[in-house]
Amino acid sequence: MTETPEHLALPIALAEVAKVGFEWTWDEETDEAHGCDFELYERFEAPERTAWWFRLWTGNDEVDGSEFRFFGATGAGDYVGFWLVRPGMSIIEQPVVYLGSEGECGVIARDLGDLLRLFADGLGPAEAFADPSRETQPNEAFQAIAERYAPGRRRSAAEIVAGAREEFPGFSEFIDAMCR
């Protein structure tokens, strides 16, 4: 077993979510998905891997994605991570962003606490990005984690995503400026 560098270790709350894991199934008869298609990494993605992927995703060899710490992905290849935009703030106080495999992107949570609330409500990052108002099945295990690490922050998923987008309205333009 190799030792994980400290700077790549996930925050404790995300590590607890990873232990629980997400369930996702596809019903071929109804052509519907159930659950969340999301997999948390065991640790933050290494900077070299982020640079490789971000250059590929943007088509720009001059960027390295160092302003992000990615911690998970969907089966379709969508990336999710912290955007390190708040100087002097800890990683768990940074906004959480979604970068889709088809170029779509957005801020989905103002910080880790809000992300935990999305998970508790039964939404994964892709679902929060695409339709935060959709009807979901709350996840009891994630609710317990959210209560431990983000007590008293209960709001609807739609309010969480809207608040994040309102606080960071220029994220898409920031990303678009890096794309070639």
Q: Over the stretch 8-35, which tens digit does the pLDDT of each residue have?
A: 999 999 999 999 988 877 778 877 766 7
Alpha carbons 99 and 5: distance in angstroms, whole number: 25
Q: What is the pLDDT along the chain (180 residues), one digit of tens a residue?
A: 444 566 899 999 999 999 998 887 777 887 776 677 899 999 999 999 999 999 999 999 999 999 999 999 998 899 999 999 999 999 999 999 999 999 999 999 999 999 999 999 999 999 999 999 988 888 999 999 999 999 988 899 999 999 999 999 999 999 999 999
Q: Fill in the DSSP letter of residue 46.
A: P
Q: Return the structure tokens found at 112.
A: 């880790």
Quick one: pLDDT at residue 24? 74
Q: In terms of C-beta density within 10 A (0-12 exposed, 13-18 middle, 19 or more buried), how is residue 56 classed?
A: exposed
- Enumerate the β-bridge partners of residue 82: 69, 96
Alpha carbons 180 and 159: distance in angstroms, whole number: 33
CA distances from 55 to 7, 35, 173, 176 (A): 22, 31, 17, 13
Q: Return the structure tokens found at 1.
A: 């077993």
CA 35 to centroid of chain Cα atoms:
16
Quick one: pLDDT at residue 3? 43
Q: Helices marked H in 32-139 — which ranges?
A: 47-58, 112-120, 125-130
Alpha carbons 53 and 138: distance in angstroms, whole number: 32
Model's pTM, two decimal places?
0.91
Cβ-proximal residues to 92 (8 Å cutoff; 6+ apart), any chain: 11, 13, 111, 112, 113
Quick one: pLDDT at residue 135? 85
Quick one: pLDDT at residue 96? 98
